Amino acid sequence: MKTLPCLGVFAGLLFAGAGAGAEADAAQKKQQAHTVKGHVVEVYASAKEAGAGTVTLKVHNKKSGASHDVKIHIGANTKIEKIGGKKGNKTHTPASFAALHKGETVVVHSVAGHPHQAQSVAIVAHGNKKAIAAN
The pTM of this model reads: 0.68
Q: How many CB atoms are located within 10 Å of the residue 43 CB?
A: 16
Cα(77)–Cα(118) distance, rounded to whole angstroms?
9
Domain boundaries defined on the chain: 1-30, 33-134
Cα(84)–Cα(111) distance, rounded to whole angstroms?
24
Domain 33-134: give its CATH superfamily. Nucleic acid-binding proteins (2.40.50.140)
Residue 6 has pLDDT above 70, yes or no: no
Residue 19 has pLDDT above 70, yes or no: no
Runs of H (alpha helix) within the chain: 3-30, 129-134
Residue 24 has pLDDT above 50, yes or no: yes
Q: 132 pLDDT band (50/70/90 cuts)?
A: very low
Task: Put residue 20 in one of left, alpha, beta given phi > 0 → left and psi -120 to 50 → alpha.
Answer: alpha
